[in-house]
Amino acid sequence: MADKVEQTGIQTITWEEVRGAFQYRFIIRDDKLEKITNKDVTNETTYQFDWNERNLEHKIRYRIQYRKEQGGEWLDMENYQYLHPPGSSILRTLVGTTITSEPGGKIAITKSGHREYSIEKWVELDEENKIRKEGV
């Protein structure tokens, strides 16, 4: 499944068509709220997810289901997958801290959705700590 984020905060999620599928259902789960917030039915293989309607500090997951006939049983395509907020392509999450890319190819460290410092500053602080420990 591929996704694309537009400047407006709208993330377009696309998936492969299931042969014989009549409809799809895009299910959104907010892990912070511990509940499913949307079960949106579509006839397309794309979904427009609007980050402007979400709290960026919440972890959001989605799952796609399909059915082969009107009123038929919904079948899961895959397990839940995480959606990541626009403006940051998530590289890795470590103990509540996220390493994200920024414009110009720079990398930043964020925590709880707030930018803490750039990766360059992180390296600088690490070097200072190393020097102090070695007594140099």
Q: In the predicted model, what is the mean pLDDT of residues 13-24?
A: 94
The total of other beta-carbon atoms located within 10 Å of residue 34's CB is 7
pLDDT score recorded for residue 63? 95
Top-confidence residue, 9 or 14: 14
Task: Quick: pLDDT tens for 31-88.
Answer: 999 999 999 999 999 999 998 888 888 889 999 999 999 999 999 998 998 887 765 5
CA–CA gap between residue 48 and residue 90 (Å, rounded):
19
**What share of the chain in percent tops pLDDT 70?**
63
pLDDT score recorded for residue 91? 45
pLDDT score recorded for residue 117? 57
Task: Quick: pLDDT tens for 72-121.
Answer: 999 999 899 888 776 554 444 545 566 665 555 566 666 655 555 566 66
- Structural domains of the chain ordered from first start: 2-83 (2.60.40.10), 90-134 (no CATH)
Top-confidence residue, 24 or 57: 24
